[in-house]
Structure 1
Amino acid sequence: MTSSERITKRPRIFSDPAPNGLAELFGTPRNVNLFGESNSGGFYTLRLEHRDGGLAGCRSHKGEERFVLFRSDRPGAIAKVVFSLENESNKPNTNMMASTAKSVEGRIHVLDVKEPYRGRDLGGLLFSEAIQAMRIKRGQQVLTKSCCDENSDNAYNSSLWARVRCHLDAEEDVRRHNKLINFYERLGCHVKPNVKIRYLNNNDGETYRRIPMECDINGDLPDSSDKIDSLCNDSISFLPVQLRTVTGERISVQYGSGNSVTGAQSNSNTENNDGAQLLRRVEWVAVQTQRGLTFRTTLGMHLCAEPSGKVVADRRKADAWECFCIEPGFDSDDSDADAILEEEDDFRRKKLWKLKSHHGTYLYADPVSSMFALSKEPKFWQANDGNLTATPDTPLRRLHYRKAWIFQSYSYVQAMRDKFLGFENLPKMNIREALDLLQSVPCHPFRKGPSLRSFLFHTAEVFRKMGYPDWVQLIALVHELGRIHSLDEEKMMEKSYDWTISSRTRIVGCLPPERCIFSEFRRLSPDIKNDQYNSQLGIYRRHCGLENVFLLWTGPEYMYHMLKANDVTIPSDGLLLLRFFSLYDWHTNNAYSDLESENDNDIKFFIAEFDEIRRRARRTCVSDFSGDECERLWDTHYSHIFQKYSLVDKLKW
């Protein structure tokens, strides 16, 4: 099926109201800070107006038209393009057929974007709209001419009259040599051959140079103009957005096999094995429609989700396949707590959103290829500062951390220590038996994946192959064995909170860091209202050493105390590794410096390194280890390490 057949056979958009859109995604003062303004004044969108002839008394060019860009919340244009289109007189030519042809002379007179609004390719958007308007206008003239000329071949005349040449002058100050030229070249223009560059002085102390440029574009005929969307519509509002991967990179998109790439796209694309263009640096606008959002490049190509699972950007018309329904990724049904949190910008910035296609699939950024892809399972995005960023976060993960802020107070930690540090809650067992119990526990507590036993063996093998000491391999193999307590489902479901999960930890008894993990939920903590705990030092002395602080009660914290209680001979650095690898705010973000001792600072880098390798191992653990494989690894290598450090007998749990 060809691209044109796909377009004509797609269902049209119905006029159902869109439940979520631009206002929900970017509707906070901080979220709509698209252009680096210190105070944006609230949520706004952009709208585009077309003015034929310009303002009365201000027309300086024959046949002048303009597109003007406005903010929805204040008067005054933020950008504009002024252009005109005229027929060029017949030129002498020895070819009689060619001598009857009239070409089109278009001109971009002004293209101006105000300083605060640069950097999102609004200039490219206006240029594209102007060129498209000239194409369509010329196509209409072709049809009129062909219909009036009874003796002409309509198709022949159309081919003659559809040629378009657009002229413009790139005027730039000499300090930004070729910056403006490069901008227009990315839009498909080129410097006119054999022309003289003029140098100007505008009495402002700057020297400018004016470079004549042009672009040659074949016009769209009237019978195809209805396949083109324009942003110039009273009912359309839009915002420039950047679509980014988890790591903050621009997401690549397939332009489509057999299609050419022009404009800003042409300098930043490669070709894949199918002959399709991959666009690597694309500026997008999110357009509000009645059914959802469409995403189109500033040069007019819409993002399209195909039934096959492909995501391309090769359509100028937005129908059902180009529309995405914006759905929130709920992490709680606690409306009272949500009402408190909604007051925090940080909470709203980190909300999860799903982009659901017409086919019921979900748009996401593939973490390996950094390209758009579709998934049958929900995938999530976060919206802030004009960015839509793919995130591995899930509602279940957010719910877990939310509950951690609610439950894990200083008094909760003390109660859990009293309950579990007697080590009488489970029967005695050795490490090998504990590992086998985790065969049924998933490696990823918030999504599908291999077993936790497989992950632990995989992680230990990673450290082994990298040449780390045997006691580091041992810690890698046991660091999540605290999850065996999660097998007691009755106790775990008492408060529907699983403390055994190895998640980011923090210190209780003092004020948590300002930017700690999931800090948007900090207002739910009971300790936040306790004057004893909400100061920088809290209950601790300055530089008391992290061995003297209380951490959240988690699986690794439990394992640290369990190994100490069983009199193992693991080096002290190994035990510190086990306890503090999840204290990310300390070893990577340098929080809690007022509490750390000199010894803590000495081992900080090593702990951060361990945590980084462990997280990398989790990402690369994609399949289960068989029972025989685990048995072989244990018998040939790890059993000897555990015997060396007094861990072969049955232990108190």
Structure 2
Amino acid sequence: MKESLDKHQQNPMDNVDDWEDNLLERYPDPTEDKKEKEAFRNYVDSERLDTVKEFYRINHLYQTYDFVCEKEADFLKFDRKEMSIWEAVDFLNTLVDDSDPDIDLDQLQHLLQTSEAIRADGHPDWFVLTGFIHDLGKVLCLFGEPQWAVVGDTFPVGCAYSDTIVYSEFFKENPDYTNARFNTKYGIYEPNCGLDQVKMSWGHDEYLYQIMKDYLPEPALYMIRYHSFYAQHRENDYRHLMNDKDVEMFKWVQAFNPYDLYSKAPVAPNVEELLPYYKGLVAKYLPEKLKF
């Protein structure tokens, strides 16, 4: 590593979800007028923006091909903890956003906001379940992982970093940026090889995908694995690595994205009322215990 980071430097944001507020600045809700937006939250908070920028500087410095390989070898042994989905949600609830001035909801309530918006639009039950669990990979934070290795926009490693990735200028300090093996358009990959052959930057998306890959329909797995891959599903800048199957499946990723971005609201879901439905849904698709 090029610099030694203390605990605060590894976790520059006040809360692990601050990067999502920054996403709303980049991709504002087209259905929300200016007055509604300002009444809900001022996302252009300069101090918060500075911490998000520092978060991406560290992320872009350390997310190398070798780093991803190391994290896969470590975490994909799934030897940290064995939990039910409900135990994982309780575990994740220790990440409540105490810094948020407008919303005092725990992680369970945020998950339910996403899944209930999906459910209200009449989507299949596996789609609803995906909305409910899609961020559970953030338990990585509770296993001691720094913010920059858990959240943030995801992107391929092992090939040139796209200019459309947020704060792409910070990649110039990444050792892969000048590595001839990795810094060309295709890098170590073949044209249209398929995203299943491509290593993505390490974080909660890939981690949860690997936990869920034997249990959910393929569109759900694409949503989980690529919901933070904004350089593709918003900027369409990695089409050269995708095969026909990826293109078809990304329609589901794009269908999921508005629920992921725009379902956050200050009104708390009625957890007690909703829990029986979600307990039945979880039991339908997932085993009683999962290895994390």
Q: TM-score range by the shorter chain?
A: 0.7 to 0.9
1:596 aligns with 2:242: yes
- In the alignment, structure 2 segments of 5+ residues that lack a partner are 1-7, 10-32
Residue pair 1:437, 1:484 contacting (<8 A) in 2 also: yes
Identity over aligned residues, as a percent? 28
Please name the residue that 2:289 is paired with.
650
Residues 469, 532 of structure 1: CA spacing in aligned structure 2 closer, same or farther, 3 A cutoff?
A: same
Residues 572, 378 of structure 1: CA spacing in aligned structure 2 closer, same or farther, 3 A cutoff?
A: closer
Secondary structure (helix, strand or coil) at the match of 1:368 reads: helix
CA distance in 1, matches of 2:97, 2:208: 17
Residues 522, 468 of structure 1: CA spacing in aligned structure 2 closer, same or farther, 3 A cutoff?
A: same
Secondary structure (helix, strand or coil) at the match of 1:394 reads: helix
Supply the AA of the counterpart residue of 1:412.
F
CA distance in 1, matches of 2:121, 2:160: 38
Out of 369, 379, 399, the residue aligned to residue 45 of structure 2 is 379
CA distance in 2, matches of 1:546, 1:378: 34
**Greater strand proportion:** 1
Residue pair 2:159, 2:188 contacting (<8 A) in 1 also: yes
Residues 589, 476 of structure 1: CA spacing in aligned structure 2 closer, same or farther, 3 A cutoff?
A: same
Supply the AA of the counterpart residue of 2:94.
S
Residue pair 1:439, 1:454 contacting (<8 A) in 2 also: no
After superposition, residues 570-585 of structure 1 pair within 5 angstroms as: 570-585=216-231
After superposition, residues 127-276 of structure 1 pair within 5 angstroms as: none
Out of 197, 205, 210, the residue aligned to residue 556 of structure 1 is 205
Residues 557, 371 of structure 1: CA spacing in aligned structure 2 closer, same or farther, 3 A cutoff?
A: closer
Out of 232, 235, 247, the residue aligned to residue 586 of structure 1 is 232
Residues 371, 414 of structure 1: CA spacing in aligned structure 2 closer, same or farther, 3 A cutoff?
A: closer
Residue pair 2:65, 2:158 contacting (<8 A) in 1 also: yes
Please name the residue that 2:29 is paired with.
none
After superposition, residues 254-653 of structure 1 pair within 5 angstroms as: 367-368=34-35, 379-380=45-46, 394-426=49-81, 428-442=82-96, 447=100, 449=103, 450-488=105-143, 491-492=144-145, 496-501=146-151, 503-564=152-213, 567-568=214-215, 570-618=216-264, 621-625=265-269, 629-635=270-276, 637-645=277-285, 647-653=286-292
Give a deviation string over 1:352-407, Cα, whole Å, max 9, x none.
xxxxxxxxxxxxxx9535779x98x99339xxxxxxxxxxx622211221111011
Residues 443, 584 of structure 1: CA spacing in aligned structure 2 closer, same or farther, 3 A cutoff?
A: farther
The Cα of 1:631 is off from its aligned counterpart by 3.9
Secondary structure (helix, strand or coil) at the match of 2:260 reads: helix
Residues 499, 367 of structure 1: CA spacing in aligned structure 2 closer, same or farther, 3 A cutoff?
A: farther
Give a deviation string over 1:394-424, Cα, whole Å, max 9, x none.
2221122111101111110000000000000
**Corresponding pairs, count:** 259
Residue pair 2:96, 2:106 contacting (<8 A) in 1 also: yes
CA distance in 2, matches of 1:639, 1:590: 37
Supply the AA of the counterpart residue of 1:534.
N
Supply the AA of the counterpart residue of 1:480.
D
CA distance in 1, matches of 2:137, 2:228: 14
Residue pair 1:430, 1:650 contacting (<8 A) in 2 also: yes
The Cα of 1:500 is off from its aligned counterpart by 2.1
Residue pair 2:209, 2:224 contacting (<8 A) in 1 also: yes
Residues 640, 397 of structure 1: CA spacing in aligned structure 2 closer, same or farther, 3 A cutoff?
A: same
CA distance in 1, matches of 2:108, 2:134: 11
Residue pair 1:584, 1:608 contacting (<8 A) in 2 also: no
Residues 535, 498 of structure 1: CA spacing in aligned structure 2 closer, same or farther, 3 A cutoff?
A: closer
Residues 400, 624 of structure 1: CA spacing in aligned structure 2 closer, same or farther, 3 A cutoff?
A: farther
Computing the radius of gyration over CA atoms, which structure comes out larger, 1 or 2?
Answer: 1
Higher relative contact order (CA 8 A, sep 6+): 2
CA distance in 2, matches of 1:402, 1:516: 12
Secondary structure (helix, strand or coil) at the match of 1:404 reads: helix
CA distance in 2, matches of 1:370, 1:549: 37
Residue pair 1:639, 1:648 contacting (<8 A) in 2 also: no
CA distance in 1, matches of 2:262, 2:271: 21
Residues 433, 551 of structure 1: CA spacing in aligned structure 2 closer, same or farther, 3 A cutoff?
A: same
The Cα of 1:622 is off from its aligned counterpart by 1.8
The Cα of 1:522 is off from its aligned counterpart by 1.7
* 604-613 vs 585-594, which moves further: 604-613
Give a deviation string over 1:3-35, Cα, whole Å, max 9, x none.
xxxxxxxxxxxxxxxxxxxxxxxxxxxxxxxxx
Normalised to the residue count of structure 2, the TM-score between the two structures is 0.80
The Cα of 1:458 is off from its aligned counterpart by 0.9
Residues 443, 367 of structure 1: CA spacing in aligned structure 2 closer, same or farther, 3 A cutoff?
A: farther
Residue pair 1:424, 1:652 contacting (<8 A) in 2 also: yes
The Cα of 1:473 is off from its aligned counterpart by 0.8
What's the C-alpha RMSD, in Å, of the aligned pairs?
Answer: 2.7
CA distance in 1, matches of 2:275, 2:61: 40
The Cα of 1:487 is off from its aligned counterpart by 2.2
Post-superposition, which runs of at least 4 consecutive aligned residues in structure 1 deviate over 4 A? 369-372
The Cα of 1:497 is off from its aligned counterpart by 4.1
Residues 418, 592 of structure 1: CA spacing in aligned structure 2 closer, same or farther, 3 A cutoff?
A: same
Give a deviation string over 1:216-251, Cα, whole Å, max 9, x none.
xxxxxxxxxxxxxxxxxxxxxxxxxxxxxxxxxxxx
